[in-house]
Structure 1
Amino acid sequence: MTKLLRIFPFLFLLGIAGCASIPSSNPTGKVLRYGACTEGSEPVIYEHKESTAGTASRSDLNVTNQTDTIQLRKNAGFGFDWVAHGLPQTFELIYAVAHPELTLPDGTTSRGFEEKLIKRGNELGEYSSTECYILSEDHELVPGLWSISIKVGNTILAQKSFNIVAN
């Protein structure tokens, strides 16, 4: 019995440490801050045919002021900082944008799109990021409700809607 009492604290601590690093099967997330958004560096633009603009970009993004009402103008941006817990170290993240119906340059219409990305969380199953949408193309200048959702599978980790208004 003495040996069991001596190793029990070790097993208990091992159990706590092990549980802390095992992601749950039900990831959760939340928006930390939202509002107008800007690109902080020269963006790297890549083709993304499914997106409303036909391209996407990677750059430093900054949420500048908290608001859910954005003035409609070219290069206006909106988005949010978010965090998620309970993720595997490698996971497929779905970035989804829903917007009012608009007409693309090829004559087709769109109400939104999704982009699937492979991401890596930390050893505790956590991941955080800033997601923004920049109205970079003339055909995107459509007022109404625009929403950004971040999903893993069918689970929405973070979501925010913005009212894009004409001047």
Structure 2
Amino acid sequence: MTPPRSRTLRPIRTPGHRAHLHYLDPGGTEWLVAVDRARSVSFESALPAREIPFYAGQRHTPGHYWAATTDRMVGYESFLESKWMKLLDFDTDVSAFSAQPFTIDAQDDWGAWKHTPDLFVRRRDGSALVLDVKNDDQMTVPAVTRQARRTAELCHRIGT
């Protein structure tokens, strides 16, 4: 199903709560979809919404994982993310997954925010899962917990 297309890739700023998702379809076309229309988008087929940086001396270990589930290369930002991909690839309930599937551009009670989740998973029953991969030692960092809460609330609004 083709999602409704926006005339602009910048959401209109309005007071109160709002959220849009920016993504690239498999052909590389940019889309901006309101969160209430996101259920109709096949994010498991999306190209990465942002570049994964590669440079000498970086702390993370980016690379590419060949996903048997999707029969394509999927980029990852860290060793931990690649391990999640391997787990997803062997999970018989998973039909597809993608990395950096969309960028959230939203506003809530804490203000405007942007975030690109690490993984989008489509299950065989049609349900979806959005994953942010974090080391255990980061789970008590206030910025990380706030981001997790915001993303979870948004996914709940979408119905994932």
The two structures share one fold, judged by TM-score above 0.5? no
Tell me the TM-score normalised to structure 1 length: 0.27
Tell me: higher relative CO, structure 1 or 2? Use CA pairs within 8 A at least 6 residues apart. Answer: 1
Query: Which is higher, the Rg of structure 1 or of structure 2?
Result: 1
Which has the larger helix fraction? 2
